[in-house]
Amino acid sequence: MADMTISGEYFRGIVKDNPVFSLVLGLCPVLAVTTSVENAIGMAGAALFVLLGSNVMVSALRNQIPPITRIPMFIIIICTFVTIIDMVMEAYTPPLYKSLGIFIPLIVVNCIIIGRAEAYASKNTVKFSIVDALGIGTGFLIVLVIIGAIRELLGTGAIVPFGFKLISIPITPATFMILPGGAFMTIGVLMAIVNYNRIRKARKGGQ
Amino acid sequence: MEDSLFSIAINGIFVKNFLLVQFLGLCSFVGVSKETKSAAGMSAAVLFVMIMASIASFLIYTYLLEPFGLTFLTTISFIIVIAFLVQLVEFIIRKFSPPLYRSLGIFLPLITTNCAILGVVILNARLDYTFVQSLFYGISAGLGYSMVMLIMSAIREKANSLKVPEAIEGLPHAFFITTLLSMAFVSYFGVIPT
């Protein structure tokens, strides 16, 4: 793999290997915490921290970890970082911690993180693993913020991240979007749009 | 917080359904609900491990982590307990009931990373449930999961023969079905006065 460039690897994580739309990994937090942009940013930030930490550790130790015990080792590494971010968020951002609820400890079983450890960090150098973690983390952040923005805007009529009013539209808020059904519908529509674009591109390439 | 067993059961099965309201265990839900047979296998395995995990994690949390002030190890010890239980269950089923093992076998390793299981045990610990309450919550959460899983797989089997636009086929279609199911479950909100 001589032709890997840093920017190429970074954008691959955002577009081609987007964790939610291409790999369909880590759906639970994507749907559960995206009732507002603020929660979406908090969740993606926590996931990015854990992903970065575990990718660095796994790629640094990749020659020391025996292949047969690698999965338990990955889980223990991930657990360590999850416990750190869990305690940090509980201490410094209590309201955010409260609204994210059990989804912070549940980062442990988020398939994105163990998936990257297994598929990427255990085979590549520390430098590229950092880039990969940042790319995948950014892809995750973008998706979460898009879904959060759609749901918050339509569900409450305004986007207010961290007490700062971004946009508001004069509509009657559709509470449906904040309820669980709205999350399923939003991701269904977004996935259909992504699929539509992919099919159209494939057709164009074929002709 | 004094929750009666009845309200815990209704909460676990309907009001706070793990799949449709709390969004726990969605990966397995989307992946395995294509046909009823595998959905039933997965549900049975999840129900079983959920009950075992509720019992084991309660004992560990109350008698080991809390008295020694080790609650910062909660997440890591729970995940190890679950992984251990899954291995144990796999071992026991293979030994005593090979036909059951053949039908459940492939789903068991998937359960370790199912967030519904870890979700139950963490919620039990956070809500300070007693032993009986934890056990009940585990059972009812598992039942709620199984119910939705079976409904969904039945719908998806029928929906397979529908003609839908190419872009909606597969996952988006499954999500639209889930939207309708979830809207039905939202009407259970307020069944239990808080």
Q: What residue ranges do the domains of chain A occupy?
A: 7-206
Considering only alpha carbons, which residue of chain B is nearest residue A194?
Answer: B167
- pLDDT at position A206 is 64
**Between chains, do A31 and B26 touch, taking CB under 8 Å as contact?**
yes
Select the residue from B76, B114, B121, B189 to test the A interface by mutation, using most A Cβ atoms within 10 A.
B76
Cα–Cα distance, A40 to A62 (Å, whole number): 32
Which residues on chain B are in Cβ contact (under 8 Å) with A89? none
- pLDDT at position B2 is 61
Look at residue B110 and tell me whether its pLDDT is greater than 80: no
Out of A37-41, B71-75, B110-114, pick the least confident. B110-114
- pLDDT at position A2 is 46
Residue B59's pLDDT band (cuts 50, 70, 90): very high
Q: How many Cβ pairs within 8 Å bridge chains A and B? A: 111
Q: Compute the average pLDDT of residues B48-74.
A: 90
Cα–Cα distance, B144 to B147 (Å, whole number): 5
From B112, B118, B172, residue closest to A106, measured CB to CB:
B118
- Long-range CB contacts for residues B126-132, cutoff 8 Å, separation at least 24: B126/A102, B127/B1, B127/B3, B128/B1, B129/B3, B129/B8, B129/B58, B131/B55, B131/B58, B131/B62, B132/B5
The tens digit of pLDDT for each residue in A27-70 reads: 888 888 888 898 999 999 999 999 999 999 999 998 888 888 88
Residue A60: how many CB atoms within 10 A of its CB?
A: 13
Out of A158-162, B106-110, B174-178, pick the least confident. B106-110
The tens digit of pLDDT for each residue in A82-133 reads: 999 999 999 999 989 988 888 899 888 888 888 888 888 888 899 999 999 9
Hey, what amino acid is at B135? Answer: L
- pLDDT at position A172 is 82
Q: Residue B192 falls within a domain, yes or no? A: no
Residue A207's pLDDT band (cuts 50, 70, 90): low
Domain span at B180: 5-185
Got the DSSP string for A177-193?
GTSHHHHHHHHHHHHHH
DSSP three-state, residue A1: coil
Q: Which residue has the tokens 């409260």?
A: A98
- pLDDT at position A1 is 46
Look at residue B143 and tell me whether its pLDDT is greater than 50: yes
Look at residue A135 and tell me whether its pLDDT is greater than 60: yes
Q: Residue B190 falls within a domain, yes or no? A: no
Select the residue from B79, B120, B180 to test the A interface by mutation, using most A Cβ atoms within 10 A.
B79
**Between chains, do B75 and A105 touch, taking CB under 8 Å as contact?**
yes
Q: Compute the average pLDDT of residues B146-155.
A: 93
Nearest alpha carbon to residue B156 among B174, B139, B140: B174
- pLDDT at position A160 is 83
**For residues A26 and A111, is the Cβ–Cβ distance under 8 A?**
yes
Got the DSSP string for B24-49?
-SHHHHHHHTTSHHHHHHHHHHHHHH
Residue B131's pLDDT band (cuts 50, 70, 90): very high
- pLDDT at position B194 is 56
Q: Which residue has the tokens 């929660």?
A: A39
Phi-psi region of A53 (alpha: psi -120 to 50; beta: other; left: phi over 0): alpha
pTM listed for this prediction: 0.87
Q: Compute the average pLDDT of residues B167-180.
A: 88
Q: State how far residue A45 is from chain B, nearest Cα, in angstroms.
A: 19
Residue A72's pLDDT band (cuts 50, 70, 90): confident
Q: Phi, psi at residue B66, to the nearest 5°?
A: -70, -50
Number of domains in chain B: 1
Residue B105's pLDDT band (cuts 50, 70, 90): low
Q: Residue B66 falls within a domain, yes or no? A: yes
Q: Phi, psi at residue B56, to the nearest 5°?
A: -65, -45
In this prediction, what percent of chain A has a pLDDT beyond 90?
A: 34
Look at residue A181 and tell me whether its pLDDT is greater than 60: yes
Which residues on chain B are in Cβ contact (under 8 Å) with A176? 183
